[in-house]
Amino acid sequence: MSDTKYIFVTGGVTSSLGKGIIAASLAKLLQARGYRTTIQKLDPYINVDPGTLNPYEHGECYVTDDGAETDLDLGHYERFLNVRTSQANNVTTGRIYQSVIEKERRGEFLGKTVQVVPHITNEIKERIQILGNSGEYDIIITEIGGTVGDIESLPYIEAVRQLLWELGEHNGIVVHLTLVPFLSAAGELKTKPTQHSVKTLMESGIKADILVCRTEHHISEDIKEKLALFCNVRKEAVIQSIDASTIYDVPLLMQEEGLDTVTLEKLALPNTTEPNLDQWKEFLQRHKNPKDKVVIGLIGKYVELPDSYKSIQEAFIHAGAANEVDVEVKSIHSEHLSDKNIEKKLQGLDGILVAPGFGERGIEGKVSAVKYARENNIPFLGICLGMQMAVIEFARTVLGLEKANSTEMDKGTPDPVISLMEEQKNITDMGGTMRLGSWDCHLKEGSLVREVYGSSDIEERHRHRYEFNNIYKEKMEDAGLVASGLNPKTGLVEVVEIPSHPWFVGVQYHPEYKSTVASPHPLFVGFVKAVLDHKQ
C-alpha cells in the first residue's frame, strides 16, 4: 500500500449542494499546510465524457492539458489549487463500463461471468487509486457525483466501502455533505433529511466521519449536538457550511469551522502548521474592495444557464481582482441581436466578449456584435467561435466577401474563411474528433498579445473542430487583421488582432480554462485593463 490518504466526498438530500466547492476548499486548506493534494470526480452518468452533453444539461465542459473533456468541477479544482488536472481526475460510469467490456471482449476475465461486483467495482477502485499510486500526492480527495441513494451511484458507494475496508483505519474517511433546510412556517431548521441521508449511507455499509451541513441559517450548538448524536459523528465533526457571498470565501469559512483540523485528526496526520493563506486573503481583499467598475457584455447562446460559461465568469473575477475593478458580466443572447437593434442592445457596455459555442444558432448576432465592437473601438475579446466570428465579420465587411462564412454554418459558402482541417473532412463521429487539450503557440514580435503575455511562446487549451483558412491569410493581413499567433508545427492560426484598434483580439483557444486565483490569465487581465482604460 502507498502512504497516500483518501478522502471521499458524498452528497445527500439533494444534488447541487456544492460538493465540488467543499472538496476544493478542503483541498486548499490541506495544500496550504504543505500536503500535496489533488481532487478527482466520479460521475455516475453513462456518457463517456461530458463532451457531447448540451451545456444546458451539465453546464460547461471543461478541458484539461491532456485533452480530456471533463466535468466543470475540475475547473474549480484547478482554480482553487493552481494544480493541473488530467484524464485521471474525472471518471464516468460510461468510461468504467467501456473499459470493463473491452477487457471482457479481449478475454481478460477468462470466461467468468462479468458482474457489477466485483468487476465494475474493481475497475472503479483501480481508477480511484491511479493518482494515489503515482507517488505525487499525500492526499487524494474523491468527489462522488449525484446523491446517496441514487441507483446509478450504488457501484461507486460499494467500491468506496470496499476501499475503506482495504485501506484500513486512518487511511480513508468519508465527508458527507447534506442539507439542513429551514422551514419558515415552523421557524426552525430541520435535521431529519440529514438523518435519513446518513442512514441511507449506513445501509450501504459506510459511516460518515464528517458531516458538512449546507444551510441558509446558522446552526445552533443544540442542533449540532442533535446531529452528532443521531448521525453517529463527533460534535466537532459537524461542520456548518452557510451560504457565502462568493465561493472564494468557503475555504476560510471551512477553516473557521475546523474542517481541516478534524480531517487531519481522523487521518492521523500531524496538525502542526497553520495553513498559509496570505495570497488567498490578499486576492479576496482586492476582489471585495474594487476601486472602479466596468460592464462587459458576454455575447453567447447558452446565457440562460450561468454555468455554461463558468470558467469565463471566474476568469473575470480573477482579472478583476488583479486590476482592483469590479467586473459586471452582462449576459446577452446572440439570437436576439441583429444589425438593426445592436446599438440599443449593446449600449453602455465598456467591453465586449464573444463567447465560444457550436452550431449555427445565434451566429449572425455574434457577427453583428463583433462589427459593433470593431467599428466603435470598443475593447473586444473573441474566444474560439468568437474568434472565428471576428474573421467572418472582417472578411464580409472589410474585404467585401459578402458570403464569407464557416463551413460549419454554410457548407456551400464561396468564401470558407473558416473550414475543416484536411484530415478531419471524412469524420462522422461527433465525440472526440476535435483539436483538444494543450497546443503550442508562437506569438509574433511586436504584437499586442506578445506584450500581454510577456513571452513569445505559450501553451493553451483547445476544444474546436474548425480552423482559420490560411488561403485568406495574406488578404486579411493586408487589410489590417493580423494573424499574431501561430501553431509552430501546423501553421494553424491561433490568434488574430487588429493593430489599428485600441484592443481587438480573437483567440482560437480557451484562455479561461487556465485562469486561477494564484495566476489570473494574462489575456483576461489585459482585456479588463483595456476595458477600464476605455471607460476612463
19 labelled ligand-binding: yes
382 is in an annotated binding site: no
18 is in an annotated binding site: yes
- Is 190 annotated as ligand-binding? yes
With CA atoms as reference, report the closest residue to 494 among 454, 464, 531.
464
**Mode of pairing for the β-strands spanning 90-92 and 37-43:** parallel
Is 176 catalytic? The answer is no
- Is 484 annotated in a binding site? The answer is no
150 is in an annotated binding site: yes
465587411: which residue's cell? 397
* H-only helix segments in 398-492: 448-453, 473-479
CA 252 to CA 287: how far, in whole Å?
Answer: 15
Any binding-site annotation on 193? yes
DSSP 322: H
E strand or H helix at 441: strand 435-443
Residue 112, marked binder: no
**260 known ligand binder:** no
15 is in an annotated binding site: yes
Residues with Cβ within 8 Å of 57's Cβ and at least 6 positions away in sequence, in order, are none
| Residue 388, annotated as binding a ligand | yes
10 annotated as ligand-binding? no
Element (H, E) at 261: helix 259-266
Annotated ligand binding at 432? The verdict is no
Indicate which residue of 76, 287, 501, 510 is catalytic: 510
Alpha-carbon dihedral of residues 303, 307, 309, 314, nearest 10 degrees?
Answer: 130
Q: Is 385 annotated as a binding residue?
A: yes
What is the length of the chain? Answer: 536
Residue 464 annotated among the catalytic residues of the structure: no
According to DSSP, residue 404 is labeled: -
Check if 462 is active-site.
Answer: no
Pairing of strands 90-92, 69-70: unpaired
The amino acid sitting at 368 is S
161 is known to lie in a ligand binding site: no
Instruction: Write down the catalytic residue from 78, 158, 467, 512.
Output: 512
Phi, psi of 505 (to 5 degrees): -135, 135
Q: Is 192 annotated as a binding residue?
A: yes
- The reply, when asked if residue 407 is annotated as ligand binding, is no
Q: Is 222 annotated as a binding residue?
A: no
Q: Name the one residue in this structure whose C-alpha cell is 472582417.
A: 394
Q: Do 211 and 221 form a contact (C-beta atoms < 8 A)?
A: no
Omega into 502 within 30° of 0, i.e. cis? no
Which residue is catalytic, options 384, 393, 441, 501? 384
User: Is 291 marked within a binding site?
Assistant: no
Q: Is the Cα torsion angle 522, 323, 247, 59 positive or negative in sign?
A: negative
Of 145, 79, 152, the closest CA to residue 120 belongs to 152
- Which residues are identified as catalytic? 384, 510, 512
- Mark the binding-site residues for L-glutamine, compressed into ranges: 56, 357, 385-388, 408, 465
Q: List binding-site positions for UTP.
A: 15, 190-195, 226
As annotated, the binding site for ATP includes 16-21, 73, 244
Pick out the residues of the known binding site for CTP.
Answer: 15, 150-152, 190-195, 226
Residues contributing to the annotated binding site for Mg(2+): 73, 143
**Binding residue positions:** 15-21, 56, 73, 143, 150-152, 190-195, 226, 244, 357, 385-388, 408, 465
